[in-house]
Amino acid sequence: MQAFILISQLLLCLAAGYFFAKKIASSLIKLSFKVLPYFSYLLLIGISMEFTHALENIHDSSQILSSATALAFFTTIGSFLCCFALYKFIGIQPVSGKISLTLLFKSFISISYACIALAVGFLLAKVLENIGIPIQVNTWYLLLVFMFLIGLDLAFSPLDRSWLNFKILLVPIGCIIGSIIGALLCSIFLKQLQLKDLIMLSQGYGFYSMSGIVVSELKNPALGSIALINDLFREIFAIILMYCIGWRYPRSAIASAAATAMDVSLPMVKQACGNDFIPHAMVSGFILSILAPIAVSVLAAL
């Protein structure tokens, strides 16, 4: 029952943002768009503080990092290869795009902001603990606000109905199947994690500001930490793939970027893959951004 309530809260906030977006004053909409990127950093600081307290009761924190890194690698590569195989099967795999070291550098700067937010949360939790100020952090309500803002953002995303064709939909399909295959392969090496948990963690699709909180609420802080680090590293691996071979295999690179293809990774898609593949990124990112909280919540509740 608790899982059903939590899942319902997430979906209601996402739906409320999406369906009421056009009824909200334009000034508030513009403000929400400005707040959204910074709000995610605030959420990450809160997540980090919450996890810092939780990790004190976890004996082998190094195992969390190694497990998350392995899962991120296998799910990213799995998404890339599965999408490649699907398009190879129907005979499509064009060459497009160029590489810019400047944009590559900027993309890693963006990721570094997320890492800095996590570090700030960790240090803040430690400082407050050392000076004897007890603080209880509950990021769930922050996540609900974040999901509402995501709903607003999705409502104004420039999606075109003509983009919803079978060839473009193969990108998110490849990501979903490839992520599951990656989790299955990862289970060979990560014996300490159950297969059902690995599959659950694989469905975060790079949505790190959501997955860590949901998994912590429905499972435990250790798995929540793996979810957070896994999805953060997944985004990093996807950007590396995007610039290394995205110019040659654009659709596969977009599949590896998962939910981030619609927002964080979109500039890289435009530059490394070409403007022709922006619809692929927008549609795939949109579908996976909606699917991620649902899939993670449902699988965590099983």
Q: What would the mean pLDDT of 35-59 be, rounded to a whole number?
A: 75
Residue 1: pLDDT over 60: no
> Alpha-carbon distance 242 to 204, whole Å?
19
Tens of pLDDT along 229-282?
A: 899 889 888 888 887 777 788 899 999 999 888 777 777 787 777 777 888 888
Which pLDDT score, from 0 to 100, does residue 275 have?
73
**pTM to 2 decimal places:** 0.77
Residue 188: pLDDT over 80: yes
Residue 145: pLDDT over 90: no
Backbone phi, then psi, for 248, in 5-degree steps? -95, -35
> For 73-115, what is the HEC assignment?
HHHHHHHHHHHHHHHHHCCCCCCCCCCCHHHHHHHHHHHHHHH
